[in-house]
């Protein structure tokens, strides 16, 4: 369980569509994280997934139109749910429910709850490609986005239930959970809207020959978490990454992902992109040394040199900081053993950074490859903030909050 999700109140609305099966995994994941989840089904949704399924997964009674129209409670059910919900996520959003939300119609429990509530609402469409492209649907989709209360989540391309291949596929549960986290964390505020963010992630590899390299165990998980959190909160995000230790799909978050391998490739790509962004998060674990002369092809084991000539890799982030404009910000990372503060503070000033994140890699369940992290936020001007152990997704949102204070 995650402390952040403890006692968070999330209402999941399910409208008619085969993608409702994905919502089962979403509800299960949120409950396992500690969230309190209530599920509201439309009549059409009940044709795809039974109320009993969601009741078992949410540990709560599933709410349908039967409860709505036959309620004998002291207060109207839709009023109570609207006041209870901290956030609402509708997944899948059908063309029918989209039309109702757009035009303020309320003929079932779900649409009445939306109108009776003031919390933020995220909607995840799912429909056949031709339905998704239909003029009426497109107009409703655009009109809904004029209401700042609604977070209009994207669809992705892929194979649909009708065997067609195209856009209109609902996001996977893992992506929906990231959006739900951002929705609840920010209380529906797209506070990074309009900001251009560049994130480096993963480790670099310096070739010895065609099959051997010098590298490090960085998985890219922290950089990915930052890129995803910033994108969910409205930023335009580009992520430049070395080889990753975990699978990552940038499409659900609208992230432009560019793959590199060596420090030189990373330097060339970042140098090209950096002038056009507002902030760089240097989360990549860039190597410190590389072979002076890589060998062509694969060396036989017997021909491997006993001593490998090495050269230092130039200070990439230090070079970038020398070219930054007054309104640009660069945030570095320092993965350290022992007391991380002194070496991180030295790097902050030596490299001309606006802030640095010092994270210990010698503590249990922290650092490279871990799902969790902890550390210190050290700004050039201001107070050091301690970030207690948490998931890297939670740490990413905490860091984004702190970065907004840099101005």
- Catalytically active residues, by annotation: 162
What is the SS3 assignment for 320? Answer: helix
17 contact partners, CB below 8 Å, separation of at least 6: 44, 45, 48, 92, 94, 126, 127, 170
352 DSSP assignment: T
Q: Give the whole-angstrom CA distance, residue 317 versus residue 323.
A: 10
394 contact partners, CB below 8 Å, separation of at least 6: 2, 4, 181
Answer yes or no: are the C-beta atoms of 260 and 284 closer than 8 Å: no
Residue 146 burial by CB count (10 A; 0-12/13-18/19+): exposed, middle or buried?
Answer: exposed
Q: Give the whole-angstrom CA distance, residue 54 versus residue 249.
A: 27
Token pair for residue 186?
């920010």
Answer yes or no: are the C-beta atoms of 263 and 206 closer than 8 Å: yes
47 DSSP assignment: G
């Amino acid at each position: 369980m995650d402390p952040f999700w403890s006692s968070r109140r999330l209402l999941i609305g399910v409208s008619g569509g085969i993608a409702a099966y994905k919502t089962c995994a979403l509800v299960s994941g949120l409950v396992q994280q500690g969230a309190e989840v209530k599920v509201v089904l439309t009549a059409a949704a009940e044709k795809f997934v039974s109320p009993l399924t969601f009741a078992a997964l949410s540990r709560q009674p599933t709410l349908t139109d039967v409860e709505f129209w036959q309620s004998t409670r002291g207060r109207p059910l839709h009023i109570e749910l609207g006041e209870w919900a901290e956030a609402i996520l509708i997944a899948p959003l059908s063309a029918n429910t989209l039309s109702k939300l757009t035009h303020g119609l309320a003929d079932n429990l779900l649409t009445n709850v939306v109108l009776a509530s003031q919390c933020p609402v995220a909607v995840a469409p799912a429909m056949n490609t031709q339905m998704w492209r239909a003029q009426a649907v497109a107009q409703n989709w655009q009109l809904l986005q004029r209401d700042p209360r609604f977070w209009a989540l994207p669809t992705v391309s892929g194979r649909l239930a009708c065997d067609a291949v195209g856009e209109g596929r609902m996001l996977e549960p893992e992506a929906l959970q990231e959006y739900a986290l951002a929705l609840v964390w920010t209380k529906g505020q797209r506070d990074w809207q309009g900001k251009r963010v560049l994130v480096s992630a993963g480790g670099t590899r310096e070739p010895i020959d065609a099959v051997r390299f010098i590298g490090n165990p960085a998985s890219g998980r922290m950089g990915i978490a930052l890129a995803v959190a910033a994108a969910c909160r409205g930023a335009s995000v580009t992520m430049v990454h070395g080889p990753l230790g975990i699978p990552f799909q940038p499409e659900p978050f609208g992230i432009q992902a560019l793959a590199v391998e060596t420090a030189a490739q990373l330097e060339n790509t970042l140098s090209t992109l950096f002038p056009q962004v507002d902030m760089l998060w240097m989360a990549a674990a860039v190597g410190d040394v590389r072979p002076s002369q890589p060998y062509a092809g694969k060396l036989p084991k017997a021909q491997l040199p006993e001593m490998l000539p090495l050269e230092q890799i130039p200070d990439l982030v230090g070079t970038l900081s020398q070219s930054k404009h007054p309104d640009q910000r660069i945030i570095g990372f320092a993965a350290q053993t022992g007391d991380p503060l002194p070496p991180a503070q030295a790097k902050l000033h030596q490299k001309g950074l606006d802030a640095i994140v010092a994270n210990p890699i010698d503590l249990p369940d922290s650092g490279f490859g871990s799902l969790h992290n902890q550390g210190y936020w050290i700004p050039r001007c201001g107070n050091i903030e301690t970030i207690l152990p948490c998931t890297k997704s939670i740490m990413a949102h905490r860091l984004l909050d702190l970065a907004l204070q840099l101005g």
